Amino acid sequence: MAIFNLGSINVDHVYQVPHLPLPGETLAALGLTTGLGGKGANQSVAAARAGAKTFHIGAVGSDGGWIFEQLRGFGIETTHIATLTGPTGHAIINVDRAGENAIVLLPGANFGLEQSHIEAALAAALPGDILLLQNETTLQSETARSALSHGLRVIYSAAPFDIAAVRAVLPFISMLVVNEVEAAQLTAAIGKPLTALAVPDIIVTKGAQGAEWISAGTEPLFTPAFRVKPVDTTGAGDCFIGSLAAALDRGLTRPAAMRYAAAAAALQVTRPGASAAMPTRAEVETFLSQH
């Protein structure tokens, strides 16, 4: 089986700051690192590092040639990544001493893909494969509809939250993933609880409090987070989702897949950066054997 991911590719500019800036405040950064990021790329790296055959569908600008080499180094298939005119997407990320972050995005090439490119990528997918989606590209609902018609399992991260995007994609997804803030935004927008949504599976991530899997007709499955000292929480949710998708792809049960994803995210936040901090399957399994 395989994972296909229509996802953003960004260049992350990560500034270490004494605290997150207040409105109107100017801060002197304590340090700067630059590297591969974007919710999509992060999820692809997490899935590939967890052992899944991973195909990324996306785009970079004319300045993004180095990204292909990095993604291939993580074991990701890059055939379906286009090079477009204009800049690669990028993110300005402030990280404070407690590991909390605040992020500003420029979409760049992430908003330049055409449906024909996506259809060509999905032509290689087989029934039972997984499609990952987030809200940092265009064409989510169209891609989800096409993937569903191909028999793929569609896992959608409703982030960054946009109610119009969520409404458009909901009819075509197998699993919705939201954090606590996004869950509150969604329920407020629709005026109903999450359980009223016509989605087979819903994951609510709760950071250091763990994550919950909600399915119609079954008791919610709660998985606690592992206690670690965070260094940088950037990409933790992406690590959880990519790792969960990989675990499901190789046939793990719901409890085992959730525990694997929780362990991967716990390891990831103990390291600086996003994509570069994603743990390997061997690292996660060692961690699990010790906890």
25 found inside a domain:
no
270 found inside a domain:
yes
Cβ contact 234:20 at 8 Å: no
pLDDT at 46: 98
Active-site residue (options: 96, 129, 232, 238):
238
Structure tokens at 254: 């719901």
15 found inside a domain:
no
pTM of the entire structure?
0.91
pLDDT at 234: 83
- The three state secondary structure string of the chain is CCEEEECCCEEEEEEECCCCCCCCCCCCCCEEEEEEECHHHHHHHHHHHCCCCEEEEEEECCCCHHHHHHHHHCCEECCCEEECCCCCEEEEEEECCCCCEEEEEECHHHHCCCHHHHHHHHCCCCCCCEEEECCCCCCHHHHHHHHHHCCCEEEEECCCCCHHHHHHHHHHCCEEEEEHHHHHHHHHHHCCCHHHCCCCEEEEECHHHCEEEEECCCCCEEECCCCCCCCCCCCHHHHHHHHHHHHHHCCCCHHHHHHHHHHHHHHHCCCCCCHHHCCCHHHHHHHHHCC
30 found inside a domain:
no
| Count of the separate structural domains present in the chain | 1
pLDDT at 77: 98
User: How confident is the model over 95-107, as a mean pLDDT?
Assistant: 89
What is the extent of the structural domain holding 168?
3-9+38-86+115-289
77 found inside a domain:
yes
22 found inside a domain:
no
Radius of gyration of the chain (CA): 18
> What's the CATH number where 210 sits?
3.40.1190.20
pLDDT tens sequence across 2-43: 999 999 999 989 899 999 999 999 999 999 988 898 999 999
Distance CA 162, CA 155 (A): 16
Q: Is the pLDDT of residue 273 over 90?
A: no
- pLDDT band, very low/low/confident/very high, at 233 (cuts 50, 70, 90): confident
- pLDDT band, very low/low/confident/very high, at 103 (cuts 50, 70, 90): confident
101 found inside a domain:
no
Q: Is the pLDDT of residue 148 over 90?
A: yes
166 found inside a domain:
yes
User: How confident is the model over 154-177, as a mean pLDDT?
Assistant: 96
The reply to whether 63 belongs to the active site is no
